[in-house]
């Protein structure tokens, strides 16, 4: 796990990018993580922050692919997304959960001394473990030494299911199987509702 993923990887259908991000590396703040759970937020998606058009907060999602979109949820959680699709299209992949590979001690400190899957199963937890804040919004993900996304082999099996916490979306989008997770991994939030990808 060493090479940075190029921008072209992100300039594709958001659901494909979300699935293929499983297993990839995430390095920042002295910590290396393996992505184990993602969600796709697509164009024309009623669960998407961009559903009401462009705003100061969601500007990064409308921008070029391969950059970070970090936003504050419930006034306290820093949520990491990776911007997808062409420049001018509002779409991104939310990183929901990860497995720790390096820096376990630092992660534990940032997560209030917790241990086990509670460390990293949830998007707010991932942001906290990586020491991210909104100053990282718009940051290019292929820049060495910054917030790095590293290439790695795809997992053996993938699970899919509906996304979490989007009760405000339409019935169609609320049920869409746009959440992806590494099969058999304990580092996944809300296991219920996930099924093997054909």
Instruction: Return phi, psi of residue 131, to 5°.
Output: 60, 45
Structure tokens belonging to residue 109 = 């400190």
The residue from 8, 114, 170, 175 that contacts DNA (CB under 7 A) is 114
Minimal distance, residue 78 CB to DNA, in Å: 10
To DNA, the closest distance from the beta carbon of 187 in angstroms equals 12
Kindly state the tokens that stand for 189.
């939030």
Alpha helices in the chain (DSSP H): 14-20, 59-62, 104-110, 123-129, 171-175
Q: Among residues 2 and 136, whose Cβ is nearest to DNA?
A: 136
Distance CA(34)–CA(113), nearest Å, equals: 20
- Dihedral Cα 65, 67, 75, 52, nearest 10 deg: -20
CB neighbours (10 Å) of residue 189? 18
Report 57-96 residues binding DNA (CB under 7 A). 57-58, 61, 71-77, 79, 81, 92, 94
48 contributes a contact to DNA by CB under 7 A: yes
Residue choice 9, 41, 180, 187 for contact with DNA (CB under 7 A): 41
Report the residue from 11, 12, 49, 131 that binds DNA according to the rule CB under 7 A. Answer: 49
Give the footprint of DNA on this chain (CB under 7 A): 39, 41, 47-49, 52-53, 55-58, 61, 71-77, 79, 81, 92, 94, 111-112, 114, 118, 122-126, 134, 164-166, 168, 189, 192
């Amino acid at each position: 796990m060493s090479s940075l993923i190029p921008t072209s990887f992100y300039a594709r259908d958001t659901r494909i990018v979300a699935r293929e991000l499983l297993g990839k590396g995430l390095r920042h703040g002295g910590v290396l993580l393996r992505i184990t759970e993602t969600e796709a937020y697509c164009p024309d998606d009623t669960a998407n922050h961009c559903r009401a058009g462009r705003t100061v907060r969601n500007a990064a999602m409308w921008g070029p692919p391969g950059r970070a979109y970090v936003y504050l949820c419930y006034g306290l959680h820093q949520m990491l997304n990776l911007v997808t699709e062409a420049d001018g299209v509002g779409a991104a992949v939310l990183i929901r959960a990860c497995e720790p590979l390096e820096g376990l001690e630092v992660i534990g400190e940032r997560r209030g001394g917790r241990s086990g899957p509670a460390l990293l199963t949830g998007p707010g937890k991932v942001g906290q473990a990586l020491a991210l804040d909104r100053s990282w919004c718009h940051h290019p993900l292929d820049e060495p030494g910054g917030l790095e996304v590293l290439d790695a082999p795809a997992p053996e099996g993938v699970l899919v299911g509906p996304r979490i916490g989007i009760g405000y979306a339409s019935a169609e989008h609320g049920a869409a199987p746009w959440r992806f997770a590494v099969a058999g991994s304990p580092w996944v939030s809300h296991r219920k509702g996930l099924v093997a990808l054909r």
